[in-house]
Amino acid sequence: MTGKRANSHDVAKLAGVSRTTVSFILNGVASVQIPEETRRRVWEAARQLNYYPDAAARSLASGKSRVIGLILCQQADHLAADLFLPEVLRGITDNAREWDFRVLLETVANVSAPDAYLSLARERQIDGIVISGPRSDDQQLGQLVAEGFPVVLQGRLRGADIPFVDVDNVAGAKQAVAHLIGLGHQRIGLITNAPLHYTASEDRYRGYRQALSDAGLAYDEALMRQGDFVEESGYLAMRELLGLPNRPSAIFVASDVVAFGALAAIREQGLRIPQDMAVVGFDDIRLAPYMHPPLTTVHLPAYELGWQAGDLLLHLIRGETPMRTEVLLPTELVVRQSCGARTRQRD
Amino acid sequence: MTGKRANSHDVAKLAGVSRTTVSFILNGVASVQIPEETRRRVWEAARQLNYYPDAAARSLASGKSRVIGLILCQQADHLAADLFLPEVLRGITDNAREWDFRVLLETVANVSAPDAYLSLARERQIDGIVISGPRSDDQQLGQLVAEGFPVVLQGRLRGADIPFVDVDNVAGAKQAVAHLIGLGHQRIGLITNAPLHYTASEDRYRGYRQALSDAGLAYDEALMRQGDFVEESGYLAMRELLGLPNRPSAIFVASDVVAFGALAAIREQGLRIPQDMAVVGFDDIRLAPYMHPPLTTVHLPAYELGWQAGDLLLHLIRGETPMRTEVLLPTELVVRQSCGARTRQRD
DNA sequence: ATATGATAATAACACGAGTTAGTAACACGA
DNA sequence: TCGTGTTACTAACTCGTGTTATTATCATAT
C-alpha cells in the first residue's frame, strides 16, 4: 500500500474498460447504458485500488467546486457573544452533507477590507455563499449579487433584494411584550439586543412598539435603552432604568446574553424578580432555564436557521427556483419564572 | 464586464508575454529574473482583466489545496454547550489567513461512521486537518496519522503520539483547588466537566487530587460526581452532594456551564454562596462575571487555542519541524466572589 | 571573430478528472 | 442483402494552472 495514489486511469485498466466508462459508472451518469456486470467490475476495481477521485481535478473539469462558503461578518466581540454558532454550524453542515457539499468557513472582522471574502468566489473556490450577520456597508456583497453569484443572507438586510433566512423578530418581540401586558404590566421597559441600525435589533424594537400600541399603551422613550450584544451593556442599561424616578415594573430585554447582565443589575439593587421587576428575554440560550430566576424568553431555532440557509443556497446553486427566497422562521415564547406567570420551581 | 472570466492566457496576451511569465510574476517565483517593467505590465494586465487564478486548476497543478480541515467531533449536545467555538474559529481562521490558507469545516456526530471525514483527505480537498474533541475509538484518525497526513488534535488523546494543542488542565484544576484549600476549606467536592474517559475530564480530576494530596488532605470519593457537559448534569450532581450527611464546604466544578447548573441547585436549597458553599469553576465563559454570585473560575484562552492549533498544523504542512508538537497553554485563576476570597461587588 | 555568460523569456508537458461525438458489434425486420 | 436501431462502449478534447528544460538575445572578454 505504499505505491502512488490510484487515479481513474488505473481503475479503468484494472477493470478492463476505458476511463470514460469509469467516470460514467462512478458518477452514476443516467444517460448511458452499462450492464450490471461491467458496473460491478469497475466498482470492485475502485475499491481494490482504494480510489478516491481528486477533488481539484473534478472541480476543474466540471466547473463546480461542491463547496459553499459561510462568512461570519460579526466583529470579534459580537461573535464571541453568539452562543448559537455551534448549532447554526451543525445545521448548515448537515444540510450540505446531504447534497455532498462541503462548507468553507471564513471570519471577517472588517467587511470593508478590500478583499474580505470576494476572492473565494472569484477564484471559484466556492459555488455559493451564506453571509451571517450581513452589514449594509458591505460593498463586496453587492458585487456578488450583481454578478448573479448565489448568495443567501442569514439575518436580514433592509432595502436589499437578496434571499435571506431569519427568525421572525417582530413577531417574537411582540409576543414577549404582549405576554407581559397580559400579566398586568403597564410600564414596560426595553433594552435592545444591539444598536438600532442592526436589522434584528430594529425589528425587535418594532415588535415591542406594536405590542404596546395593540394594547393601547403609550410608548415612552424614557424606558428604552440600546444594548450592544454583550452582558455588560445590559448591566449598564438596566442600572440606568432602575435609577429612573418612575421606573418600569417589567422589562423586555431583546437578547438573553444582554438580559443576563440586566438580571445582575436588578439583583444588585436588592430587587426581587419577578415581584419588583419582571423580565423577559430573547433567544432562549441553553443557560436560560438555570438562571436566577429561570428566564422567560423567546425561543430561537438555531439549528433550523443554519439548515434552512444551507437549503436555500443549495437550491439556488442547482439553479432551481426555491419555494420562497425569504424565509422567516417562527419563534416561540418559553414561559419560566422571571416574568411572574408561574410559581413552579423548575421548568 | 459581461464577458467570460479571464484566465492567465488572457493576461499573458494583454501584457505581451507568455503564460509562463505571468505565472512566475504573479506567484513571485524567486528563482527567476524579470525586469521591473515587465512585472508592472503583467500586474497591470491582471488588474485590468480582473484576473483571479482558478483555485481548482492551481490546486490540481501544484498538488496543494491550500485548505485545512477543521473537524468537530463532539456530539450535538456537547457541541452546543461549547461556548468557546466562536473564539476557537476566529483563532484558527485568523492564522490560516496569514498563510493564505482557507478553513473547511465539518461536524461529525458519529466518529465511527465509515467515512466521517476521511474522504476529505483522500480526495485531496485538504492539506491537513485539525481534530477538535478527538475520540479514542476513532479509526480514521489512526489511518491518517499512519499515512503521514498532517494531523493536529485540539484536545489531547492519551496513548496516541499525535501532535496536539490543549490547555494545561491538570495545572488549572490544581490551582483552582489549591485556592479553595488556601481559603481554609478541608472538605472540597468535585463535579467533573464530563465522564472520566474524556482526557480533559481525567486531567482536571488529576489536578484536583494532586492539590488535595499536596495539602495533605485525604481524597474522599463520596465527594466526587461526574458531570456531562450540560447544565443539567451539574444541577443533578450538586443536588446529590447537598444531600450528603456530611456535605462539603466547597466545590470545584470543572466546567462553568456545569457549574451554572450547580449554582442553581445550591440556591434552590436556600444556601448562600460562598458562605455555605464556596464554588470554583473552570473555563471562564463570558457570562461568569455576571453570574449570581460572580463565578471564580479558571480562564481558558480560547482564541489562542485555535490559533496555536492552526499554527502547528501549518508548520507540519510546510514540512518544517515545529518547535514543539505538544502545546499546553497556561490557564489563569480568575478570582471573583463565588469562592469567598473577596467581598467586593463586581470584578 | 569567437567563445562565455548573463538576462529574459518561452515551449511543452503534467496534473486528473468530466463530457461530447462517434463507432464497432450485433439483432432484427423487410 | 440491406438498412435501421440498439447496446456498449471509447477516442479525444477540455478545464486553467505550475514547472522544467530550453532558447534567443545581447554584452563582454579573449
Residue A344 has pLDDT above 50, yes or no: no
A73, A71, A63: which is closest to A125 by C-alpha? A63
Residue B306 has pLDDT above 60, yes or no: yes
The pLDDT of residue A1 is 43
Nearest nucleotide by C1' from B63 CA? C15
Does B52 contact A at CB distance below 8 Å? yes
Instruction: Identify whether the C-beta of residue B180 lies closer than 8 Å to the C-beta of residue B158.
Output: no
Distance of B18 CA from C2 C1′ (whole Å): 32
Instruction: Identify whether the C-beta of residue B106 lies closer than 8 Å to the C-beta of residue B117.
Output: yes
- pTM equals 0.94
Residue A112 has pLDDT above 50, yes or no: yes
Distance of B62 CA from C14 C1′ (whole Å): 10
In chain A, % of residues over pLDDT 90? 91
B257, three cell numbers = 456551564
Nearest nucleotide by C1' from B16 CA? C9
B88, three cell numbers = 476557537
The pLDDT of residue B322 is 81
A255-265 average pLDDT score: 98
Element (H, E) at A13: helix A8-15
Least confident of A248-252, B115-119, B171-175: B115-119
pLDDT tens digits, B245-259: 999 999 999 999 999
The mean of the pLDDT values for chain B is 95
B85, B140, B277: which is closest to A88 by C-alpha? B85
Does A341 contact B at CB distance below 8 Å? no
The pLDDT of residue B344 is 45
A45-58 average pLDDT score: 98
Residue B347 has pLDDT above 80, yes or no: no
Does A322 contact B at CB distance below 8 Å? no
Residue A224 has pLDDT above 70, yes or no: yes
Give the 3-state DSSP-derived string for A48-86, with helices as H, strands as E and coil as C: HHCCCCCHHHHHHHHCCCCEEEEEECCCHHHHHCCCCHH
CA dihedral (A34, A35, A37, A39) in degrees, to 10, reads 30
Strands B188-191 and B250-253: parallel
Residue B346 has pLDDT above 70, yes or no: no
The pLDDT of residue B345 is 45
The pLDDT of residue B1 is 43
In whole angstroms, what is the distance from residue A91 CA to residue A304 CA? 6
Residue B290 has pLDDT above 80, yes or no: yes
Residue A134 has pLDDT above 50, yes or no: yes
Distance of CA A15 to the CA centre of its chain: 47
Shortest Cα distance from A291 to chain B (angstroms)?
7
Element (H, E) at A215: none
Least confident of A20-24, A178-182, A319-323, B58-62: A319-323
Shortest Cα distance from B257 to chain A (angstroms)?
8
Higher pLDDT among residues B122 and B112, named by residue: B122
Residue A2 has pLDDT above 70, yes or no: no
Shortest Cα distance from B315 to chain A (angstroms)?
20
The Cβ of residue A326 has, within 10 Å, a number of other Cβ atoms equal to 14
B20-26 average pLDDT score: 97
Does B263 contact A at CB distance below 8 Å? yes
In whole angstroms, what is the distance from residue B205 CA to residue B256 CA? 15
What's phi and psi for B251, nearest 5 deg? -140, 140
The mean of the pLDDT values for chain A is 95
Write the DSSP assignment of A237-264 as a string of letters. Answer: HHHHHHTSTT--SEEEES-HHHHHHHHH
Can you say whether residue A171 is alpha, beta or left, with left for phi > 0 and alpha for psi between -120 and 50 degrees?
alpha
Cβ contact, residue pair A235, B290, below 8 Å? yes
> Considering Cα of A260, then B266, then B239, then B201, what sign does the dihedral take?
positive
Distance of CA B72 to the CA centre of its chain: 10
Packing angle, helices B19-26 and B36-49, rounded to 10? 90
B286-301 average pLDDT score: 97
In whole angstroms, what is the distance from residue B161 CA to residue B140 CA? 15
Residue B343 has pLDDT above 80, yes or no: no
pLDDT tens digits, B192-214: 999 999 999 999 999 999 999 99
Residue B185 has pLDDT above 70, yes or no: yes
Residue B113 has pLDDT above 90, yes or no: no
The pLDDT of residue B112 is 86
The model's confidence at residue B300, banded by pLDDT at 50, 70 and 90, is: very high
B22-43 average pLDDT score: 94
The pLDDT of residue A347 is 43
